[in-house]
Amino acid sequence: MGTNTMGWIDILSTNDNDQLLDRIYRVISKHSAVRALYSTRGISGEGLRDLCRDLTQELYLKLHQKDRWRSYLDNNYTDQQVEQELYRIEVPNLVSQLQRDRYPESYRIARRVSDLIQTRSEFQHYSRPVQDVDGVAQKRSCNKMALKVYGLSTWPLEKAVRSTAALSELTKDVAVRPRDTRRMGRGSGSQVIISNEDLKCLVLEIFHAIDTPTDIRTIRSLVLSKIGVQDCRPVYIDAVAPTTDPQPSAGIDLRDNRPSPLEILLEKETSTRVDLLADEFIEKLRKTVRNKPRRFLKLVGVAWHCYFDRSSPSQSSTAQMMGISDSLVSHYRRIFDAAILGLGLNRDELILLNGALEKRLAGLMPDLRDSLDNLRLTGMAHSNRNCSMVYADSADSSTNVSAPV
């Protein structure tokens, strides 16, 4: 960003976007809220300049969407009024929005701590001591909320304010509060984290531990160190964190495991082809046994029990279940194997065909069971008829023997 000598109103009147972006960059780069936002992340130098450029672009677009640039001209704003509105309202609002998006739970807790300290009777405000020109200590009030000094209302107003450097060490014995997982807010989308009463007790305990008034920003950081907050937000996996390493690590490009449109189309075509091939194979088995229903059902039963049945029965068990001999089971197995080999498919194609054949053979198994039941009933009826004939013949023979000569 370069330097310029034009005022805000002249820039807006001439619609000079380059000069406008330059002036916004100057406001953002020197704003204390922006420096406080990124100072804790250890960003400096070129990295900080890049972030300021991003904020410049974001603030420019935000004000353009609200038509604030036109409003400044229509309401006869002066250069000083535009500068003050940007510095006191727009930039702090932008920083607050960024904090709310990036650190949602920490932002909520910080706001609650600030409101609690300023509204509860257990706390009171202290004036910040400063040194005048003659070296005499005086007191003045601070208009910035985060820099206002507060302490316990039971302390005297003349209580000395210590340095904030060693305050975190003094609070090491303060217990960390467990997380309250109750839900609250619109749609119950947020957790309570800590109730207001527990939060007040925590602030009181911290003040007793440090035994000195301190500014709101410091007390907020001490409170957050004793609460389990979860500031989660999605980031790109190949995003490189700001670092001082002159050779940043290469980004990670993960493979997308989802099928491409071409792969989906090929899978559908393959499935259709396999279904047609399975139907043709079933018809081929029918022709092999000369379209005889009983032989075809026996062939289907042998193929099912030997190759597709999850219980994996032995060949003897299959013969016993179907009421046929072991040699006939071997005969039908050879027919099925020859039909499969005659297709000339590779291993992957046979795996696909296996699933299609399993569905079709499973659909034919009820017909086989009905056929076996009919054969058993027929056999039992035939056996009963033979037994009746033998009994009748034996009765006639007994009558002839006992007859008188």
* Greatest distance between any 2 Cα atoms in the chain: 165
Q: Which residues pair with 177 in a beta bridge?
A: 227
- In angstroms, the CA 320 to CA 298 distance is 13
- In angstroms, the CA 157 to CA 149 distance is 11
Is residue 240 pLDDT above 60, yes or no? no
- In angstroms, the CA 361 to CA 341 distance is 18
Instruction: Tell me the pLDDT band of 39, cut-offs 50, 70 and 90.
Output: low
Instruction: Tell me the pLDDT band of 120, cut-offs 50, 70 and 90.
Output: very high
Task: Choose between 190 and 201: higher pLDDT.
Answer: 201
Quick one: tokens of 18?
């380059």
Q: Model-level pTM?
A: 0.51
Q: Which residues pair with 129 in a beta bridge?
A: 139
- In angstroms, the CA 254 to CA 100 distance is 30
Cα–Cα distances in angstroms (integers) from residue 292 to residues 157, 289, 332, 383, in the given order? 109, 6, 14, 26
Quick one: tokens of 365?
């198994």
Quick one: tokens of 122?
């257990």
| Among candidate residues 177, 203, 221, 226, the one with its CA nearest the CA of residue 122 | 203
Question: Which of 134-138, 181-185, 274-278 has the largest mean confidence?
Answer: 274-278
| Among candidate residues 27, 40, 43, 85, the one with its CA nearest the CA of residue 217 | 40
Radius of gyration of the chain (CA): 44
DSSP 253-299: -----SPPHHHHHHHHHHHHHHHHHHHHHHHHHHHHTTT-HHHHHHH
Is residue 21 pLDDT above 50, yes or no? yes
| Among candidate residues 335, 116, 324, the one with its CA nearest the CA of residue 220 | 116
